[in-house]
Amino acid sequence: MLKRFFSCLFLFGSLALGIYTVLHVHFDPGKIFSYFLAPYYIVATAMQYIWPEQPNEFEKGEVLNDWLHNAALMAITSFQNFFVHTLVAYSGAGLLFKFGVLPDSMAAHHLPFWAQVAIAYLSFDFMFYVTHRMGHEIDFFWRLHSVHHCAHRLSVLNASRAHPLDLIWRRILPIFVTFQTGVSQEAFILSGVIGSVLATITHMNVRFSFGAINYIIGTNEIHRWHHSNKIEEAKNFSVFMLWDHLFGTYVNPPDRSRPARMGLFNENFYPTQSYLGQMLIPLGWKKMKARQAELEAQQHRQTGGGAGMHHGTSTPHSLSAGVVDSGGTASAPSSSIASTA
């Protein structure tokens, strides 16, 4: 009961403090980051060492790799802010309204402010669901998104582990669609802070307990299943779980608190802790898959045909676009894709 109380207090307290800060500094992005987001990230990171869900045991190269990813995120965020300012300047009320395709009276900026915030958040999260699911189910996008899934546990630091191209397209498209609803820039900023609070919680390595809230918000208890090495468990694509409920991708097994493994279905020859290798993964993907298939065939021959596949199954997703087993096969060098491309 105490853990549930503390978990909910942190969630709703963070949201309340974030909203208050945004309104108090009059939507100034720099002040929002300095007064709220930066301290929030520091507190969230520190909590992982005070109350961890999994031991904070870092693999060789993991910390450097994730810091490089965070540095890349900062650069991409700067580009994103430029994109948002340009978008607002040329189509702040939405292109469909600007060019008369739809009457301006239908634009969201005519609605009360909090209705605009809700529209902005739901629009962005829906497009996040769409692009995120595409990242898992379309081979080309999975080559990029697999970088995020090669981590073996959740943490605030590896929440930003992602290929830059994956980050850019899964941010820019939702932002573009959101602004076409005609919401104000202020509503978008506040919805973004709300999203940042929730997205950080999804990756916190903290022993939270949210109970029924897990059916509404993709907390870290829910997001762990998204990082499962079993394809049937690697769902929960949104942060606001409405979309997963609607499209049948909500996963929350009642008999277990987290998946047995997190990571990739087949990590052989995958650069799990090499930043350069992860940047080059799209170029070396086919060669890596060929080497994995060769190793698997060799194991199949050595065992007389009895242990070739992980978990004894094979699906198109697991072989071409698939998520994950971080240790189900005989070991092979996780060398950088840079050396295999």
Residues 175 and 317 in one domain: no
Last residue of a domain, one of 206, 231, 246: 246
Count the residues in the chain: 341
Indicate whether 150 pLDDT > 80.
yes
Residues 138 and 201 in one domain: yes
pLDDT of residue 96: 63
- The neighbouring-strand residues paired with 240 are 217
pLDDT in tens, 66-103: 999 989 888 887 777 777 666 665 554 466 666 666 66
pLDDT at position 180: 86
Q: Is residue 84 part of a domain?
A: yes
Q: What is the rounded CA–CA span in Å between residue 64 and residue 68?
A: 6
Residue 257 lies in a domain: no
Q: Are residues 207 and 326 in the same domain?
A: no
Residue 47 inside a domain? The answer is yes
Question: Is residue 251 one of the residues assigned to a domain?
Answer: no
Residue 246 has pLDDT above 60, yes or no: yes
As a whole number of angstroms, the distance between CA 29 and CA 193 comes to: 10
Both 138 and 53 in one domain: the answer is: yes
Q: How many folded domains does the chain comprise?
A: 2
Residues 254, 225: contact at Cβ < 8 Å? no
Select from 251, 240, 263, 234 the least CA-distant residue to 326. Answer: 263
Would you say residue 161 lies in a domain? Answer: yes
Q: Does pLDDT of 146 surpass 80?
A: yes
Is 265 a residue whose pLDDT tops 90?
Answer: no
AA identity, residue 291? R
Query: Does 52 lie in the same domain as 104?
Result: yes
pTM recorded for the entire structure: 0.83
The parent domain of residue 79 ranges over 2-246
308-328 tens-digit pLDDT: 333 333 333 443 334 333 333
- Cross-strand pairs, 262: 228
Is residue 252 a part of any domain in this protein?
no
How far apart, in whole angstroms, are the C-alpha atoms of residue 172 and residue 290? 33
Element (H, E) at 199: helix 185-202
Token look-up 């086919």 returns: 286
Given a cut of 70, whether residue 134 has pLDDT beyond it is yes
In this prediction, what percent of the chain has a pLDDT beyond 90?
A: 60
